[in-house]
Amino acid sequence: MGKRTSLYDSHVAAGARMVDFGGWDMPVNYGSQIDEHHAVRNDAGMFDVSHMTVVDMEGPRVQEFLRHLLANDVAKLKEPGKALYSCMLNNQAGIIDDLIVYFMRDGWFRMVVNAATHDKDLAWINQQAQPYGITLTERNVGMIAVQGPNAREKAASVLPASLRAPALALKPFSALEGEGLFVARTGYTGEDGFEIMMPAEEAAAYWDKFLKAGVKPAGLGARDTLRLEAAMNLYGSDMDEGVTPLESGLAWTIAWEPTDRDFIGRKALMSQRDAGPRRKFVGLVLEDKGVLRGHQKVVSAAGEGEITSGTFSPTLDRSIALARVPVATGDEVQVDIRGKLLKARVVKPPFARNGKSLIKV
Amino acid sequence: MSKIPADLKYTKSHEWVKLGADGVATVGISDHAQAALGDLVFVETPKAGRQLKAGESCAVVESVKAASDVYSPVAGQVVEGNPALNDTPEMINKDAYGAWLMKLKPANPKDVDGLMDAKAYEKFLADEAH
C-alpha cells in the first residue's frame, strides 16, 4: 500500500480507480478520463495534488539563496504572492526538478516541487541552503487544483466570504493567504483556475463543497492529457538530470540577466548556448492512425530523436507528443510504432489551451 | 464489479471467446480489461486469412493511457477483424462483449473448451486482485 493523501476516502467514494504514483495511491480516473479532460477544458474540474511537496524557506538571506539555487530569477517577484516557474539545475545544468516558487513576504518564500523527486530535492536544497542559514519547513497541507473556464467562479463561491472577492481579483501567477488557506491562480492544465492549499484535515470538506458547486473530480489521466496539450513538461518524462532547459523547450525560464547572477548550472548552460544545442524540443501531431508514446523513435533526414511523452489528445482528436529531435529536423518526421513508420508533423507547442485547439488538423 | 457473461469462455490475458454453431469463434476483450485500460482510442485488428498460434499477439488496443496486446485464445485462421472498431474504438468501453475484435476459425474447436468458464474467470480476477 502506498501513501495516502487526506482525500483518499473522497476518491474512493467518487468511484476512483486508484494507482501508484511515485509511492502515493492516487486516482487515475473516476470512470472516463476523456470526460474529465473535457470537463476541465469546457467547465471546471478538480485534482487532488496534496501529494506534491510544499516547502517554506525563511531567513534574511532567502532571496539571495534562491537567486543562486534557481535558473529563473526570484528578484522578478516584487509583490507578495507573486509566483515564478523555474528549473533547479545541477552544476552540469542538468534538471534536478521543475517547480513553482511564491514570494510570500520579505524573508519568506514558498516552493512547490514534484512528489516523485521529494527526497533528492530536499537533500539538494538542504545542502545548498547551509551557508545561507535558511530554515526549511515542509508543510503537510491538503492541496486541490480547481481548473477550467468556470473554475474560479465555482471555487470562489465556496471560499470563506472574506476571501471571495480578493481571490477573484488575483492576477495570473499570483496568490493570497487568509483564513488558513493559500489560494493561487496557477495550474498545470492550460486553463484558468486556482490551486488551493488548506489544512490537511479540512481538505475533504472543501472537496465536497467544490463537488456541490459543480466541479467534477478529475484524475491523473486527465491531468496528463491536459498538461501535454498545454505543452507543460512532466519531470521524469520530458526532462531529467541528463538534459538542460535549452534542450527541453524551457529556454524562456532561464534568466540570463543580470549577467553577474551566479546561479547553479549557469556556466554549463552558457557554454551549451554559445556552442548551440544539438537537440531541440518540438511538438508532434500524428497524421496516421495510432497513438504516440514516450520512448518511441523519431526518424528524420536530420537524424533520430525520441518522443518524451505522447498520448491521444481529446481536444484535437489526434495523437500528439513532445519529442527531443536533432536541431536540423524539418516539418515532417516518421515515428516508429511497433516496427511501422508512421507520418507525423512537427509543430510548435502548445497544442491546446483555454478550451481551444491551437493546431490545425 | 465487472460483467462476466456465463455463456462465454475466458483467457488469463483477459480475452473472451464465443464459439458459434458454425464453428467460428468470436473474440474480444473482457469488461474487466476495458475498465483497466480506460478510454480506448485506437484498435488494430488482424487481417483475414492470417494464421495464428494460441497465445500469439493478434491485435492491439490502445487507451489514452497505454497500448496493450491482444492474444489469440486458440490456434486458428482469422476470418475477419471487426472493421467498425477503426472509427469507434470506444464501443469496447461501452459494450466489451458486443464489440468483438475478430472472428477466428479454430484449428481445433475443442481447444475452446479448455479455456476458463465464467466461474473460473471470476475466481481468477479475484485472485489477481490480491
ipTM for the predicted complex? 0.85
Contacts of A15 in chain B (CB under 8 A): none
Percent of chain A with pLDDT over 90: 98
Name the closest residue on chain A to residue B1, using Cα atoms: A15
Q: Which of A86, A83, A61, A55 is nearest to A71 (CA)?
A: A86
- Cell numbers 504572492 correspond to A81
Question: How many Cβ atoms are within 10 Å of A12's Cβ, its own excluded?
Answer: 12
Residue A73 amino acid letter? D
What pLDDT, on a 0 to 100 scale, did the predictor assign at position A273?
96
Q: What is the pLDDT of residues A100-122, one digit of tens each?
A: 999 999 999 999 999 999 999 99
Which DSSP symbol is given to A252?
G
Q: Are B80 and B47 in contact (CB under 8 A)?
A: no
Grade residue B130 by pLDDT with cuts at 50, 70 and 90: confident
End-to-end distance of chain B based on CA atoms, in angstroms?
15
Grade residue A242 by pLDDT with cuts at 50, 70 and 90: very high
Give the Å distances, CA to CA, from A337 to A83, A216, A297, A299, B65.
Answer: 40, 34, 8, 11, 15
> What mean pLDDT comes out for the span A168-178?
98
Q: What is the pLDDT of residues A9-31, one digit of tens each?
A: 999 999 999 999 989 999 999 99
What pLDDT, on a 0 to 100 scale, did the predictor assign at position A36?
98
Number of H helices, E strands in chain B: 4, 9
Q: What is the pLDDT of residues B76-105, one digit of tens each?
A: 999 999 999 999 999 999 999 999 999 999
What pLDDT, on a 0 to 100 scale, did the predictor assign at position A170?
98
What's the sign of the alpha-carbon dihedral A187, A188, A193, A197? negative
What pLDDT, on a 0 to 100 scale, did the predictor assign at position B1?
67
Are the Cβ atoms of A29 and B38 closer than 8 angstroms? yes
Grade residue A248 by pLDDT with cuts at 50, 70 and 90: very high
A122 vs B129, more confident: A122
Across the interface, which of B39, B60, B86 has its CB nearest the CB of A34? B39
Grade residue A361 by pLDDT with cuts at 50, 70 and 90: confident
Best residue in A26, A34, A293 to probe B by mutation, most B CBs within 10 Å? A34
Query: Is CATH 3.30.70.270 the right assignment for the domain spanning B10-108?
Result: no
Q: Which of A169, A178, A63 is nearest to A109 (CA)?
A: A63
- In 3-state terms chain A splits into helix, strand, coil percentages (rounded to 5) of 25, 35, 40
Across the interface, which of A33, A314, A338 has its CB nearest the CB of B38? A33
Q: In the structure grid, which three cell numbers stand for residue A8, read together?
A: 483518499
Q: Could you tell me if B93 lies within 8 Å of chain A, comparing CB atoms?
A: yes
Across the interface, which of B38, B39, B42 has its CB nearest the CB of A289? B42
Are the Cβ atoms of B64 and A289 closer than 8 angstroms? no
Q: What is the pLDDT of residues A341-354, one digit of tens each?
A: 999 999 999 999 99
Q: Give the bridge partners for A286, in sequence order.
A: A344
Q: What is the pLDDT of residues B36-51, one digit of tens each?
A: 999 999 999 999 999 9
Q: In the structure grid, which three cell numbers stand for residue A229, read together?
A: 496539450
Distance of CA A189 to the CA centre of its chain: 8
Q: What are phi and psi of A268, to 5 degrees?
A: -65, -35
Q: Which of B106, B89, B119, B77 is nearest to B18 (CA)?
A: B106
Q: Are A237 and A220 in contact (CB under 8 A)?
A: no
- Could you tell me which residues of chain A have a Cβ less than 8 Å from any Cβ in chain B? 17, 28-29, 32-34, 221, 225, 289-291, 293, 311-312, 314, 319, 338
Mean pLDDT of chain A: 97
Q: Are A284 and A347 in contact (CB under 8 A)?
A: yes
Across the interface, which of B60, B64, B86 has its CB nearest the CB of A312? B64
What pLDDT, on a 0 to 100 scale, did the predictor assign at position A296?
98
Helix (H, G, I), strand (E, B) or coil at A120: helix
Q: Which residues, at least 6 apart from A255, have a Cβ–Cβ distance to it below 8 Å?
A: A71, A72, A73, A76, A261, A263
What pLDDT, on a 0 to 100 scale, did the predictor assign at position B95?
97
How far is it between the farthest Cα atoms of chain B? 40
Are the Cβ atoms of A221 and B65 closer than 8 angstroms? yes
Grade residue A338 by pLDDT with cuts at 50, 70 and 90: very high
Q: In the structure grid, which three cell numbers stand for residue A2, read together?
A: 502506498
Rg from Cα positions in chain B: 14
